[in-house]
Structure 1
Amino acid sequence: MDTTKHDDAGTSGSGGSHTGGSRTGLFRTPISGGVHSATAVHDLPPPALAVRNLMEQARFAHLCTVMSRMHHRREGYPFGSLVDFAPDPFGHPIFSLSPLAIHTRNLLADPRCTLVVQVPGWSGLSNARVTIFGDVFPLPAEQQEWAHQQYVSKHQQWASQQWGNFYYYRMHTISDIYFIGGFGTVAWIDVNEYEALQPDKIAMDGGEHNLKELNSMFSKPLKELLSTDEGEVDDVAVISMDSKGIDIRVRHGAQFNIQRIAFEVDHSVETLDEATEALRRIIGKSRWHTRAQL
Structure 2
Amino acid sequence: MKIPPSAAIHLLHRCVHASLASHSTQLAGYPYATPIPCVPDARHRPTLCLSALAEHSKNLQADPRCSVALLDPAAASSQSGARLTLLGDMEAFQPTPLELARHLRYQPEAENWLQLDFAFYRLRPQRLRYIEGFGRMGWLEAEQWLDGATLEPEQEAELLAQGAALPADVRLLGVDCHGIDYEIAAERRRLAFPDALTAAELSARWQELCAALA
Partner of 1:136: 90
CA change 1:147–1:274 in 2 (3 A) is closer
Q: Which has the larger radius of gyration?
A: 1
RCO greater where, 1 or 2, for CA within 8 Å and sep 6 or more? 1
> How far apart are the structure 2 equivalents of 1:91 and 1:105?
25
Structure 1 residue 80 displacement after superposition: 0.3
Question: Structure 1 regions of 5+ residues with no counterpart?
Answer: 4-34, 36-45, 214-238, 245-269, 277-294
Q: Report the residue type matching 1:96 in the other structure.
A: C
Partner of 2:11: 54
Q: Report the residue type matching 1:53 in the other structure.
A: H
Alpha-carbon contact 1:59-1:84 (below 8 Å) kept: yes
CA change 1:51–1:197 in 2 (3 A) is farther
1:204 to 180, 185, 190: 180
Alpha-carbon contact 1:202-1:271 (below 8 Å) kept: no
* Superposed counterparts of 1:118-133, under 5 Å: 118-124=71-77, 125-133=79-87
Alpha-carbon contact 1:47-1:187 (below 8 Å) kept: no
> How far apart are the structure 2 equivalents of 1:115 and 1:121?
18
Alpha-carbon contact 2:90-2:121 (below 8 Å) kept: yes
> How far apart are the structure 2 equivalents of 1:66 and 1:204?
34
> How far apart are the structure 2 equivalents of 1:115 and 1:101?
16
> How far apart are the structure 2 equivalents of 1:204 and 1:183?
28
> How far apart are the structure 2 equivalents of 1:193 and 1:148?
26
1:271 aligns with 2:209: yes
RMSD: 2.9
Alpha-carbon contact 1:52-1:197 (below 8 Å) kept: no
CA change 1:163–1:144 in 2 (3 A) is farther
- Larger strand percent: 2
CA change 1:201–1:212 in 2 (3 A) is farther
> How far apart are the structure 1 equivalents of 2:66 and 2:76?
25
1:190 aligns with 2:124: no
Structure 1 residue 84 displacement after superposition: 1.1
* Superposed counterparts of 1:53-92, under 5 Å: 53-68=10-25, 71=26, 74-92=27-45
> How far apart are the structure 2 equivalents of 1:183 and 1:205?
28
Question: Structure 2 regions of 5+ residues with no counterpart?
Answer: 151-174, 195-207
